[in-house]
């Protein structure tokens, strides 16, 4: 497999800013059906029904999730409002890196 890429899912080596399109592109590479993003946990992919945690990378913080939310919802202000009021969203997102459309379903765990 070679050396791990320390910035694989982030924009730089500080790991302060997650790169949504890198996270999505990796899901294609490993043929993942789902991506689980939760504060305090590593990025996790579902591959052939098995949850695979990216433990070589830091756990996501609330700030990471806020950045991801902003990137995904920049073109969907009504959806963003629904997340804040209904605590649930479902919409499409086209990755700039892969030009592939992804279905996004998110919710706040209360």
Give 20-107's CATH code, choosing from 2.60.40.420, 3.30.450.90, 3.30.465.10, 3.40.50.920: 3.30.450.90
pTM: 0.80
Q: pLDDT category, 31, cuts 50, 70, 90?
A: very high
- Which tokens hold the place of 88? 């649930």
Question: Could you report the per-residue pLDDT of 35-90, keeping only the tens digit for each?
Answer: 888 889 999 999 999 999 999 888 999 999 889 888 888 877 778 777 778 888 88
Asked whether the predicted pLDDT for residue 2 surpasses 60, the reply is: no
- Nearest Cα neighbor of 29 from 95, 104, 109 is 95
Q: Which helix (H) or strand (E) holds 93?
A: strand 88-94
């Amino acid at each position: 497999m070679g050396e791990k890429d320390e910035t694989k899912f982030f924009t730089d080596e500080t790991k302060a800013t997650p790169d949504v399109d890198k996270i999505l592109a990796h899901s294609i590479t490993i043929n993942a059906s789902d991506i689980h993003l939760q504060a305090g946990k590593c990025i996790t992919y579902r591959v052939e029904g098995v949850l695979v945690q990216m433990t070589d990378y830091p756990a996501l913080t609330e700030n990471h999730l806020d950045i991801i939310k902003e990137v995904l919802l920049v073109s969907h202000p009504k959806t963003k409002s629904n997340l804040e009021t209904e605590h649930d969203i479902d919409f499409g997102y086209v990755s700039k890196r892969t030009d592939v459309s992804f279905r996004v379903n998110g919710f706040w765990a209360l």
